[in-house]
Amino acid sequence: MNADHATAVELCDVSKRFRIYQERARSLHELIAEGFRPWRRPGRKDVWALKDVSLKVSRGETLGIIGPNGAGKSTILKLIARVLEPTSGEIFAHGKVSSLLELGAGFHPDLTGRENIFLYGSILGFSRRAMARRFDDIVDFSGIGSVIDVPIKRYSSGMYLRLAFSVAIHVEPDILLVDEVFAVGDQVYQKQCLRRIRELQNQGVTILFVSHSMQTVKQMCSRAVWLARGQVAVQGRPEQVVERYLNQALPGDGSNLSEAQLTSGVRWGTQEIEITRVSFLDPQGRNCNSLTAGGNMHIRIEFTAHRRVERPVFGLAIYRNDGAHVNGPNTQLANLPIEWAEGPGVVEYEVETVPLLPGGYVLSATAYDWDGLHTYDHWHQAFPFTIAPGQTQEIYGLVWMDAHWRFACGNVELETE
């Protein structure tokens, strides 16, 4: 195939099959249970992670890949990195590929951080001298200089990831493959990663980015692909693809919420903070999902932080039934800095005079980190409610405004109360 100079990565009808075998009997007891047939061939099951996927990624493009677990997102990156070979189809990567697919993939646990830097470089074809020129920058970015000569099997998962990410981005790749790089690490590290990826984008590096954080995909990517059951469902502008995914994907596990509370929507997040209940309350504090235009809106979010979480941000988003985004308040924008959360808790949001026009609406409830890069829990468009007619007779648009009208013509003057 002739190389297309505008294309960095191309997948042509790529499929990947995993064959899962049933284990043979491992003991006399299991042999007896199996009818004493040790010669029997183990059963097998074919699972297609990808099926006839064709995709082009242009040079300098940042492509976000989204979809539910098991959709084939990580498999695509591993195929491009040559960690896996396709069952059928062809893959072309035009340029030097660096990847961050798993914590410390390619590292040897018994070697020190210093030794692993040079090992990783040799795997990518760099000489020891070339890696020595990059060594100080790699260590400075990772922030683990004090333990660089300690075997990495003694590193925490965060230290492991810092070193792996730092090496991957300092080998001057043409193509960078990233799988959930913001899922681990503190807030300072996450901001540092985001800033570095922005620098690589400005340098024209092609980036393929897998993430469950829809906000990160919209913020970082120039194009997005939604994978469903191993096939491309939708591709295009990140905002459009994410919106279609969130509106059409199957609802998440709603085991913590009653059927009356959860009637639509999708859910994602790591759930260090878990939103367990969202309620609309009337002025007497009773559950009520029908509000009145011009009346009071009182929303209560109940949550459990399964560990101590520093500086969480809780938010809401209100949508009209036709998908129009009405509002998106959160505790950070409201200047309510929450230092930490641990165990069960409550967040409440109250509006004295609701400016929404009568109709049907739906609410999202979220918990993020301070920088908005890590999703603890996000219920998207999961809580429907209605606005009943109240003190306004307006019917056009999204909101009504408590305004004053005055008319003057000749000797006639009129004004509203």
Beta carbons within 8 Å of 244's beta carbon, 6+ residues apart:
226, 234
For the record, the structure tokens of 68 come out as 């539910």
pLDDT at 253: 36
Q: What domains lie within the chain, and their CATH numbers?
A: 7-248 (3.40.50.300), 266-388 (2.70.50.60)
Q: What is the pLDDT tens value at each position of the chain, 417 positions in all?
A: 445 568 899 999 999 998 776 555 555 555 555 555 555 555 667 888 999 999 999 999 999 999 887 788 889 998 998 888 999 999 999 988 888 776 555 678 889 999 989 988 887 778 899 999 999 999 998 888 999 999 988 887 778 878 888 888 888 889 998 886 655 455 666 677 778 888 888 889 999 988 877 777 887 888 999 998 899 988 988 888 887 787 665 443 333 333 333 334 578 888 999 999 999 998 888 888 788 888 899 999 999 999 999 999 999 999 887 677 888 899 999 999 999 999 999 999 999 988 988 888 889 999 999 888 788 999 888 888 888 887 777 777 778 887 888 889 989 988 887
Phi-psi region of 49 (alpha: psi -120 to 50; beta: other; left: phi over 0): alpha
Query: What is the structure's pLDDT at 264?
Result: 45
pLDDT the model gives residue 351: 93
Instruction: Tell me how far apart the alpha carbons of residues 265 and 124 are, in angstroms, rounded to a whole number.
Output: 43
DSSP secondary structure string for all residues of 25-42: P-SHHHHHHTTS-TTSPP
The two structure tokens encoding residue 160:
């492991």
Q: What is the pTM of this model?
A: 0.58
Burial class of residue 404, CB neighbours in 10 A (0-12, 13-18, 19+): exposed
Please, which residues have CB within 8 angstroms of residue 102's CB and are 6 or more apart in sequence? 179
Neighbours of 261 (CB within 10 A): 18
- Look-up: residue for tokens 């995909």? 217
Backbone angles phi, psi at 269, to 5 degrees: 135, 165
Query: Residue 354's closest CA among 296, 306, 270, 290?
Result: 296
Q: How many angstroms separate the Cα of 149 from the Cα of each of 73, 123, 129, 139?
A: 35, 20, 19, 11
Q: How many CB atoms lie within 10 A of CB 185?
A: 20
Q: Report how far residue 68's alpha carbon sits from residue 229's, in angstroms, rounded to the nearest whole number.
A: 9
pLDDT of residue 216: 77
How open is the CA angle 47-49-51, to the nearest 5 degrees?
100
Using an 8 Å Cβ cutoff, are 221 and 64 in contact?
yes
CA–CA distances in Å: residue 325 to residues 169, 240, 359: 37, 14, 14
**Mutual angle of helices 157-169 and 187-202, in 10-degree steps:** 10
Could you give the count of Cα atoms lying within 13 Å of 140 in the half-sphere of its Cβ?
Answer: 6
Give the model's pLDDT for residue 24. Answer: 55
* Pairing mode of beta strands 313-320, 290-292: unpaired
Q: Which two tokens stand for residue 310?
A: 């520093």
Looking up tokens 């189809």 gives 89
Q: What is the pLDDT of residue 112?
A: 93
